[in-house]
Structure 1
Amino acid sequence: MIASNNNNNKKKQKPEYRPPSSLETNKKPLRSDLPFDFRFSYTESSPDARPIGLREPKYSPFGPGRLDRTWTGVCAPAVDLKVKSVDVGVGEEGADLEEKRTVIREKIQGKPLTKAERRILAEKCQRNKTKRQINLGRDGLTHNMLNDIHNHWKHDEVVRVKCMGVPTVNMKNVCTQLEDKTFGTIIHRHCGLLVLYRGRNYHPRNRPVIPLMLWKPHEPVYPRLIKTTIDGLSIEETKEMRKRGLAVPALTRLSRNGYYGSLVPMVRDAFLVSELVRIDCQGLDRSDHKKIGCKLRDLVPCILVTFDKEQIVVWRGKDYKPPEDEGEQFFADRQLFDDPQSDMDCSEETRISDETRFQQE
């Protein structure tokens, strides 16, 4: 009798650990209802950019058989390409997914925050109050970063996101993708520091299913950014322009993991005086030069001349006209996101004191 009681009191031995294997096909693939295509980076890749080739076979970075979406080599579409109807166009599908994301976001956000609530939540994310933050680096907003944001939202209503390097050239895109993919709201921004609010009706138990990528997929092959000859110029004129571009005084020098939010307005202002602009990128990776150049080409807009000697040289073109929508494309260095006229409602004294406090941090 005593021996039987001792046997019952013994803990059951845990089964031996077995590492995951692709040979185990009895597990069902994970299903996610998120209404957008899964990409490695949502800010550094564009659905409109068409690759001309792939560097590897179409191996899913989520693992073999672990996700119910097909990996196309660039993304995992939310709509199965094999099952979709022929009558429904690509534009209609994108509009339906965007409408679905808007409905989900409005349901999670609930009633808008008051100005006092925004200020209280922004104060909680100061460096002297908390050290918890998410670093957004050269890869931009990656897919696995969405899971990290929801993990932070388990413990607090807001999370601080620090943006550094290449993505900060276009902060408007970073803020848009953050709100679109996490269904949150940015309630404060100071240069590259963002405060992301989860929403009134958010509950950690109802968080979406986000499958994790097991490795970083290779980037597809895209057309060359810099061609042998610039459009409209001969070979000799192109060579001469590249020599002159490298001899032009540098507009600015980019620091590693710095904030480049004012780079596009600086290039636009420089084009009013000079037709060639050189940006010193010593210390940055070669891939960063190409990413920054691609963003400048689309945002300024301008023509890329060369990436030689760790420099970015851009040309304004023959018939250059300053863009008229400059104010609509860029944020100010500091915003409270209360409403469209939030900066006008805030007093000048409060604005100066907040800027002084962030500079001291």
Structure 2
Amino acid sequence: MLSIRRSLTLAKEAKDSFVLLCNLRARFLSTDYDDPPFSPLSKPTKPPSEKKKKKKKTQQDQSSEPVNNPTAPVTSDLPFDFRYSYSETNPAIKPIGFREPKRFSPFGPGRLDRNWTGTSAPASPENDQSQWAEEREKVLGEPLTEEEVSELVERYRHSDCSRQINLGKGGVTHNMIDDIHNHWKKAEAVRIKCLGVPTLDMGNICFHLEEKSGGKIVYRNINILVLYRGRNYDPKNRPIIPLMLWKPYPPIYPRLVKNVADGLTFEETKEMRNRGLRYPALMKLTRNGVYVNVVARVREEFEAEEIVRLDCTHVGMSDCKRIGVKLKVYSLNGIWFHVFPYCSKMNRSYSGEGRGIEKKRLLLCETMIL
């Protein structure tokens, strides 16, 4: 029995080895391509038909429109000068120096047909302001009815609105105008939430938003705005707005707030500052807060007091100076102000505070009533 089993196993092994050798011989000696099992067969590529070739040729012959060159500079017909911020800069004040050469345009090298002067890219004199105003009136169309305004405001005034743009201390910036038009592609209006120093003058923000974007503000409540695009707005015919690739370095301007007020001596300024430090703070301003009612509160306080102090402990020094300059420029009921920023860390002899406490205060001193 054992011999029979051994002979059967040997016969099986011989048969398997013979089959293996035959397969190897057929694989190595055959010239056909070895396609492994279960692999998808590659379909032979068909030559393109003559009809498609003829169609392509006819389309190329018929298209007589010029091809846009991506390397060519962008041409914009907007009639105003391009600036980083429109609401927080004054074109009448010229800088006394620059922190970078004028050849470094924030629009990129060779991407705009306007020359960068260090503060702005002036528009060409060929752009007509009256033509831009006429086109804006055509886009706005007929004024909205009260029902349409209420429906539009109810849709976009809430905090959960997806069409929202946040306006910070930079104010109405150049790239924000492009963001507004991007929202107008799919929405009739956009919600704008304003925070920080620009909220001192909401009228200035509304003016620049309407002038630069061409829209119409249909709702204004404290720091919330709803900007409407117009009845006849067409996203395909939107104005060309080249984007700024980076924020340009701000130029060097004259000193915003002087240590000695104009018309006063150093001793008078020092005495008035020390007297103002003993006054209670009218308001406590927060960082990136809403300062809409600051002007009205200061106007009321100046009717009774000569010096007004605002607590700017949590406000940055740059924002503190900007607030002071805006209130200084503001002519409130014929009252002109001198502004004294105060920091106890720099002038410890003027303060009774401890050395480890750093506080910034803004003093507004009434000097003349017209």
Inter-partner Cα distance in structure 2 for 1:256 and 1:127: 23
Residues 1:311 and 2:365 aligned together: no
Distance 1:61 1:248, change over 3 A: same
Inter-partner Cα distance in structure 2 for 1:44 and 1:136: 12
Summarize deviations over 1:257-294 as a string: whole Å, max 9, x none: 22111111111111111111111112222211111111
Shift of 1:103: 1.7
Distance 1:304 1:137, change over 3 A: same
| Counterpart selection for 1:64 from 93, 105, 109 | 109
Residue in 1 that maps onto 2:18:
none
Residues 1:32 and 2:32 aligned together: no
Larger Rg: 2
Unaligned runs of 5+ in 2: 1-41, 50-68, 344-358
Counting aligned pairs with the same residue, the percent is 51
Shift of 1:128: 6.5
**RCO higher in 1 or 2 (8 Å CA, sep ≥ 6)?**
1
Inter-partner Cα distance in structure 2 for 1:241 and 1:203: 58
Residue in 2 that maps onto 1:189:
220
Residues 1:278 and 2:309 aligned together: yes
| Counterpart selection for 2:369 from 306, 312, 320 | 320
One-letter amino acid of the counterpart of residue 364, structure 2: V
Q: Is the partner of 2:161 in helix, strand or coil?
A: coil
Shift of 1:4: 3.4
Shift of 1:225: 2.2
Distance 1:229 1:132, change over 3 A: same
8 Å CA contact retained: 1:242, 1:306: no
Which stretch shows the higher mean deviation, 296-305 or 153-162? 296-305
Inter-partner Cα distance in structure 1 for 2:264 and 2:185: 57
Distance 1:128 1:289, change over 3 A: closer
Summarize deviations over 1:99-151 as a string: whole Å, max 9, x none: 34422221210111111111110011132763331000111111001111111
Query: Cα RMSD between the aligned structures?
Result: 2.2
Summarize deviations over 1:195-228 as a string: whole Å, max 9, x none: 1000011011111111110111111111112224
Structure 2 matches for 1:207-226, cutoff 5 A?
A: 207-226=238-257
Structure 2 matches for 1:1-361, cutoff 5 A?
A: 3-5=44-46, 27-58=71-102, 59-79=104-124, 97=129, 99-127=130-158, 130-299=161-330, 300=332, 301-308=336-343, 309-317=359-367, 319-321=368-370
Summarize deviations over 1:156-195 as a string: whole Å, max 9, x none: 1011000111110000000000000000000011100001
Q: Is the partner of 1:4 in helix, strand or coil?
A: coil
8 Å CA contact retained: 2:219, 2:226: yes
8 Å CA contact retained: 2:161, 2:191: no
One-letter amino acid of the counterpart of residue 311, structure 1: R
Inter-partner Cα distance in structure 1 for 2:95 and 2:365: 25
TM superposition score normalised by structure 2: 0.74
Distance 1:48 1:128, change over 3 A: closer
8 Å CA contact retained: 1:101, 1:180: no
Unaligned runs of 5+ in 1: 9-24, 85-92, 322-361
8 Å CA contact retained: 1:278, 1:311: yes
One-letter amino acid of the counterpart of residue 215, structure 1: W
One-letter amino acid of the counterpart of residue 213, structure 1: M
Distance 1:37 1:4, change over 3 A: same
Distance 1:51 1:128, change over 3 A: closer
Inter-partner Cα distance in structure 2 for 1:262 and 1:6: 76
8 Å CA contact retained: 2:163, 2:187: no
In the comparison of the two structures, how many residue pairs are matched?
290
One-letter amino acid of the counterpart of residue 47, structure 1: P
Inter-partner Cα distance in structure 1 for 2:157 and 2:89: 31
Distance 1:154 1:315, change over 3 A: same
One-letter amino acid of the counterpart of residue 4, structure 1: T
Inter-partner Cα distance in structure 1 for 2:70 and 2:222: 49
